[in-house]
A and B are shown apart, each in its own frame.
Chain A
């Protein structure tokens, strides 16, 4: 009996990412093309990780990731979801404790790059508002804004790899935050204080600016709120929509 199309595709698809399944020699071209397509996408999406570990290490680790997590959709610009967790659990990467954080920052870049377009809140938009009005404002983070606090210097390590030039000097081993935004069509990044990360987290949850600022101050009483807001506004961290209570 002739094999149905679905049965043919079941067998073919199963063998593509399973090198132990015996197939005719020429089948290797399909296996190689599929693996190369996935690995190229992964490497393109995680350039700082790839530079830190070297191409050979990256391709070997990447092949394991690809076999466990093949793309679920053809939009490979965001392929690699879960790569951070994979690296965190990957024994050969245990000596590089910052690698998962660097992977998250690479992914932040990809997400910021393709996020939907929207106008950012201009730095002057809040000028002249009195304290009560400011405190009641709900500022929504911009669609392209991504931020996180890390308990190790992930931002310094990542940004040096992204700049493609290793800056001289030792890295100060301490916690760091990072903010990625896309203010004028290009993805940009800046270090972020712990207080600013907490403020953005609160804004993302929909809390009014006053409550968000209090949370930032609780985390770090030395937070300079005026300076922090100026930094976030210049970076384009908030969407242009201002939601004020009636």
Chain B
């Protein structure tokens, strides 16, 4: 019997690293991009992605479908995303429990909302519409929080689990977001990660954060190495739910490629740990 490929660690891909990503050994390395950066008619960006896709699995991590806006996903945006999914056949497609477009304006951020019954109905409808248009299951990511909002009727984890049950979508657990949100809202990151429904988790994100310049908040800045506390939470998660495809996410203050590879090696070691413990010991 051929065993299913063990979940491996991937890296966020930026144009600065195209050549190195293309040349990297294909030892389970997968690469994640924001599809919005590839929704262009043609040119070298798409050509690079084609070449890299021919060598490594790809993940499309959308940041702009605006699933939690009180509006249907933009039809043109969804059509362009569907075209990229057809063209690149990614191993994973994901989006966020957030909104970013509203009445014709696009805000490059992942914005919060009160988790009400109305919001759940809206996000459920939008996720279903997206999965139908893409012809596949997508994973929805827990966002970072900065601002306590009034009017939540649902805890975030319950909201996400109910969303997964109603739509059949998967979840993407961003461990750094869990850490940043817990710190900013005065909750326990351990409790959040322990309660996250492992059966729905299709992907895990690890990233760095930074202190906000103007306050005591932590910002999910993706411009630093993964913090020690986030690694600890990640180990705790994998020990509980088992290995899942894990991404080292880096968007700003981009380090040389080998530094990202080193973080990936660390994630790979965590992913292999529970498998090794279940294998019979060699004599």
Residues of A within 8 A of B (CB): 2-6, 8-10, 12-13, 16, 24-30, 32-34, 37-38, 41, 70-77, 113-118, 143-144, 182, 185-186
Pick the most buried of B46, B146, B148: most chain A CB atoms within 10 A of its CB. B146
Q: Looking at the complex, which one of A9, A24, A34 makes contact with B69 (CB distance below 8 Å)?
A: A9
Asked whether, in the complex, the Cβ of A5 is within 8 Å of the Cβ of B116, the reply is yes
> Once A and B bind, how many residue pairs between them come within 8 Å at the CB atom?
124
Per the bound structure, the CA–CA distance linking A219 and B85 in Å amounts to 49
Q: At the interface with chain A, which of B101-109, B193-201, B232-240, B273-281?
A: B101-109
- What are 29 inter-chain pairs, A to B, with CB distance below 8 A? A4-B118, A8-B113, A9-B69, A9-B102, A10-B103, A16-B107, A24-B147, A28-B214, A29-B219, A32-B214, A37-B108, A37-B109, A70-B106, A71-B106, A73-B77, A74-B39, A74-B100, A74-B106, A75-B36, A75-B39, A76-B36, A113-B43, A113-B45, A114-B40, A115-B41, A117-B46, A118-B42, A144-B43, A185-B47
CB contacts (< 8 Å) of B215 on chain A: these are: 25-26, 28-29
Asked whether, in the complex, the Cβ of B108 is within 8 Å of the Cβ of A71, the reply is yes
Per the bound structure, the CA–CA distance linking A26 and B218 in Å amounts to 11
Could you give, for residues 212-226 of chain B, a 1 whenever the CB lies within 8 Å of some chain A CB and a 0 otherwise?
101101010000000
Instruction: Say yes or no: is B253 at the interface (Cβ < 8 Å to chain A).
Output: no
Shortest distance from the beta carbon of B43 to any chain A beta carbon, whole Å: 5
Known A3-B151, A117-B42: A9·B70 in contact at CB below 8 Å:
yes
CB contacts (< 8 Å) of B108 on chain A: these are: 33-34, 37-38, 41, 71, 74, 76
Known A5-B70, A75-B36: A115·B43 in contact at CB below 8 Å:
yes
Shortest distance from the beta carbon of B119 to any chain A beta carbon, whole Å: 5
Per the bound structure, the CA–CA distance linking A143 and B116 in Å amounts to 48
CB contacts (< 8 Å) of B212 on chain A: these are: 29, 32
Per the bound structure, the CA–CA distance linking A76 and B43 in Å amounts to 15
Per the bound structure, the CA–CA distance linking A26 and B219 in Å amounts to 11
- Considering the complex, give the chain A residue whose CB is closest to the CB of B69: A9
Per the bound structure, the CA–CA distance linking A143 and B45 in Å amounts to 16
Asked whether, in the complex, the Cβ of B47 is within 8 Å of the Cβ of A74, the reply is no
Shortest distance from the beta carbon of B112 to any chain A beta carbon, whole Å: 8
Known A9-B69, A72-B104, A72-B106: A30·B146 in contact at CB below 8 Å:
yes
Shortest distance from the beta carbon of A143 to any chain B beta carbon, whole Å: 8
Shortest distance from the beta carbon of B252 to any chain A beta carbon, whole Å: 9
CB contacts (< 8 Å) of B106 on chain A: these are: 70-74
Shortest distance from the beta carbon of A73 to any chain B beta carbon, whole Å: 6
Per the bound structure, the CA–CA distance linking A76 and B35 in Å amounts to 12
CB contacts (< 8 Å) of A10 on chain B: these are: 102-103
Could you give, for residues 94-132 of chain B, a 1 whenever the CB lies within 8 Å of some chain A CB and a 0 otherwise?
000001111111111101011010110010000000000
- Considering the complex, give the chain B residue whose CB is closest to the CB of A77: B40
CB contacts (< 8 Å) of A144 on chain B: these are: 43
**8 nearest A-B residue pairs (beta carbon):** A37-B108, A74-B64, A114-B40, A117-B42, A116-B41, A5-B70, A116-B42, A6-B70
Shortest distance from the beta carbon of B100 to any chain A beta carbon, whole Å: 7
CB contacts (< 8 Å) of A76 on chain B: these are: 36, 108
Asked whether, in the complex, the Cβ of B42 is within 8 Å of the Cβ of A114, the reply is yes
Asked whether, in the complex, the Cβ of B217 is within 8 Å of the Cβ of A26, the reply is yes
Identify 11 new A-B residue pairs, CB closer than 8 A, beyond the known A75-B37, A113-B43: A3-B114, A12-B111, A29-B146, A71-B105, A73-B77, A74-B63, A74-B64, A115-B42, A117-B41, A143-B42, A182-B43
Per the bound structure, the CA–CA distance linking A100 and B220 in Å amounts to 36
Asked whether, in the complex, the Cβ of B146 is within 8 Å of the Cβ of A5, the reply is no
Instruction: Say yes or no: is B44 at the interface (Cβ < 8 Å to chain A).
Output: yes
Asked whether, in the complex, the Cβ of B147 is within 8 Å of the Cβ of A74, the reply is no
Instruction: Say yes or no: is B184 at the interface (Cβ < 8 Å to chain A).
Output: yes
Per the bound structure, the CA–CA distance linking A5 and B36 in Å amounts to 25
- Considering the complex, give the chain A residue whose CB is closest to the CB of B48: A185
Asked whether, in the complex, the Cβ of A72 is within 8 Å of the Cβ of B42, the reply is no
Shortest distance from the beta carbon of B47 to any chain A beta carbon, whole Å: 6
Shortest distance from the beta carbon of B224 to any chain A beta carbon, whole Å: 16
Asked whether, in the complex, the Cβ of A33 is within 8 Å of the Cβ of B36, the reply is no
Asked whether, in the complex, the Cβ of B147 is within 8 Å of the Cβ of A5, the reply is no
Within 8 A of A (CB), among B62-83: 63-64, 69-70, 77
CB contacts (< 8 Å) of A6 on chain B: these are: 70
